[in-house]
Each structure stands twice: as structure tokens, then as C-alpha cells.
């Protein structure tokens, strides 16, 4: 089992729709969870991080964390073509790995005009 | 506008040559990470430093790779000798470990795209 798993995608949504990106993790001791956006040929850009169960909202982005289910998601409301990118989920498990970020393989999102 | 800088941005070299990549972390950040990204393996951590001390280099092939932090403003990753399988994008990231560890984040540089022929 991979440490961090994401829907492989690609995910395609129409402009204005809600895009839902999902991520599960295997280490129950994981503490912090991150979503990075990576445009083709560019570096990962931090969008949001979350460490408490529940929802965290920032503009059109909402991160959701459920530690009991070992599940974290990212919702993008009112999706725009500029949101088309690969979204990377990452986790930190400080007890076992210190500050190491473990990444999923990413989900490619396409928002169609 | 604080950001991580990396040089060179692109490097093409021949097998067997030494490659040195440099990173300048965000001023004030005390943790520096080296990641490698390939299509097959995704993003994987090679090594990281805190306050210039190496904390974890378990992801780095020891026989050919070395990472150092000569000072707080410079981190280097060297490959000697380079091999075609080292072709990848190498990212440096930096972060600051706050009192509330839950607030710890990492910011990536633009990367060095390496091609070993």
C-alpha cells in the first residue's frame, strides 16, 4: 500500500463546477496535510494545509480532513480554466519521518471553458 | 517577494560528469529540503537540513550524491559521477519550523531540470 494515494485522474470538470480531489494516507500518526498545485513545467505551489479534523476554507478552496478515515480532500468551487494543473497531496508524520513531506502521485485536473 | 532560488535552471551534461546544483533558501528559513521529481517516481525527498545540520538523507544514493549547507544562505546538491538515470527535475524547498509545529510549511524553488546523456 502506498503511503499517500490520490485519484489518478485525469479529472475533467466544466468551468464553474466544483472540483473534488481526494487523498488517503496510511500512517495513522500523520499530523499535517498539504495540497500543492503544480502547473506543467513549474514547481509545486502550496495552496492549503490542514491539521485539524473538519473543514478549512480559503477563498474558492476548501480542505477537508477526517483523521478517523485517514482521508483528506480539496474542493475547488467555481472552477476556472486557470485551475487546470496537477494537484499533489502531501502529509507529514513527525513521529516517524520528522519534517519529511510524503507526496501522492498527483491528480491532473482540467477545467473546460 | 521572498522565494527560494535555484541555479542552474537547466543542465545538460554527459554521463560521468560532476553536477552541482545550488539553492538559496528564503531568508530566515531554517530547514532546507532537496526533492527529485520524475514521471515514474513522482516527488521524492533526497535529503534535508535543519539549522544547516543534515537530518535525513535516507532518500539519497550515497555513492554518488552528496548534499551540504556551507552556510545558512546556500545549500548544494552534487552528483558525481552522473548517470542517465539521474535525469530529473531537482527541487529545493525551504521552511521555518514554528513553535506550533502544525504550522510548519515548505515552499519550493523553481527547480533544476537535469538531463544526463
Residues in A touching B101 (Cβ below 8 Å): 31-32, 94
Q: Categorize the per-residue pLDDT at A1 as very low, low, confident or very high, splitting at 50, 70 and 90.
A: low
Q: Which residue of A has its CA nearest to B40?
A: A105
Q: Say if residue B34's pLDDT is above 90.
A: yes
The DSSP symbol for B25 reads P
pLDDT, residue A99, reads: 82
Q: Say if residue A2's pLDDT is above 80.
A: no
Burial class (CB in 10 A: 0-12, 13-18, 19+), B71: exposed
Q: Say if residue B116's pLDDT is above 80.
A: yes
Rounded-to-integer distance, Cα A3 and Cα B69, Å: 29
Residue A111 cell numbers, joined: 477545467
- Name residue, grid cell 489518478: A8
The DSSP symbol for A50 reads E
The stretch B15-26 carries a mean pLDDT of: 98
* In chain A, residues 34-63 whose CB comes closer than 8 Å to chain B: 34, 36, 42-46, 49, 51
Identity of the residue in A94, A100, A105 whose CB atom sits nearest the CB atom of B42:
A105
Rounded-to-integer distance, Cα B22 and Cα B42, Å: 21
Name the H helices within chain A. 94-97
Residue B84 cell numbers, joined: 542517465
Closest residue by Cα to residue A88 from B95, B31, B91, B98? B91
Over residues A58-101, the pLDDT tens digits come to 999 999 999 999 999 999 999 999 999 999 999 998 777 778 88
pLDDT, residue B1, reads: 66
The stretch B84-111 carries a mean pLDDT of: 92
Residue B94 in contact with partner chain A when CB distance is under 8 A = no
pLDDT, residue B99, reads: 81
pLDDT, residue B68, reads: 95
Rounded-to-integer distance, Cα A93 and Cα A67, Å: 13
Q: Which residues pair with B106 in a beta bridge?
A: none
Share of residues in chain B with pLDDT > 70 (%): 99
Residues in A touching B104 (Cβ below 8 Å): 32, 92, 99
Q: Which residues pair with A64 in a beta bridge?
A: A55, A73
Cα–Cα separations (whole angstroms), residue A105 to B16, B42, B83, B84, B108 = 30, 6, 24, 23, 17
Share of residues in chain A with pLDDT > 70 (%): 99
Contact B12, B115 (CB under 8 A): yes
Would you state the torsion angle of the CA atoms of residues A40, A42, A44, A48, taken in this order, to the nearest 10 degrees? Answer: -80
The stretch A50-54 carries a mean pLDDT of: 95
Residues in B touching A32 (Cβ below 8 Å): 101-102, 104
pLDDT, residue A93, reads: 84
- DSSP H or E stretch at residue A8: none
Q: Say if residue B102's pLDDT is above 90.
A: no
Amino acid at each position: 500500500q502506498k503511503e499517500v494515494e490520490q485519484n489518478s485522474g485525469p479529472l475533467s470538470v466544466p468551468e464553474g463546477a466544483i472540483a473534488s480531489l481526494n487523498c488517503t494516507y496510511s500512517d495513522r500518526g500523520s499530523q499535517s496535510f498539504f495540497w500543492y498545485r503544480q502547473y506543467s513545467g513549474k514547481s509545486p505551489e502550496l495552496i492549503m494545509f490542514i491539521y485539524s479534523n473538519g473543514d478549512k476554507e480559503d477563498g474558492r478552496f476548501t480542505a477537508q480532513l477526517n483523521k478517523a478515515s485517514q482521508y483528506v480532500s480539496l474542493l475547488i468551487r467555481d472552477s476556472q480554466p486557470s485551475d487546470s494543473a496537477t494537484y499533489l497531496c502531501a502529509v507529514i508524520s513527525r513521529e516517524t519521518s520528522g519534517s519529511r513531506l510524503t507526496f501522492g502521485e498527483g491528480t491532473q485536473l482540467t477545467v473546460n471553458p | 517577494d521572498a522565494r527560494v532560488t535555484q541555479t542552474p535552471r537547466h543542465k545538460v551534461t554527459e554521463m560521468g560528469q560532476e553536477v552541482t546544483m545550488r539553492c538559496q533558501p528564503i531568508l530566515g528559513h531554517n530547514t532546507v529540503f532537496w526533492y527529485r521529481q520524475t514521471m515514474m517516481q513522482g516527488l521524492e525527498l533526497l535529503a534535508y537540513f535543519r539549522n544547516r545540520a543534515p537530518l535525513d538523507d535516507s532518500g539519497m544514493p550515497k555513492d554518488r550524491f552528496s548534499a551540504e549547507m556551507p552556510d545558512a544562505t546556500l545549500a548544494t546538491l552534487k552528483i558525481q559521477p552522473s548517470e542517465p538515470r539521474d535525469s530529473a527535475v531537482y527541487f529545493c524547498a525551504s521552511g521555518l519550523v514554528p513553535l506550533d509545529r502544525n504550522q510548519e510549511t515548505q515552499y519550493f524553488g523553481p527547480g533544476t531540470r537535469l538531463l544526463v546523456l
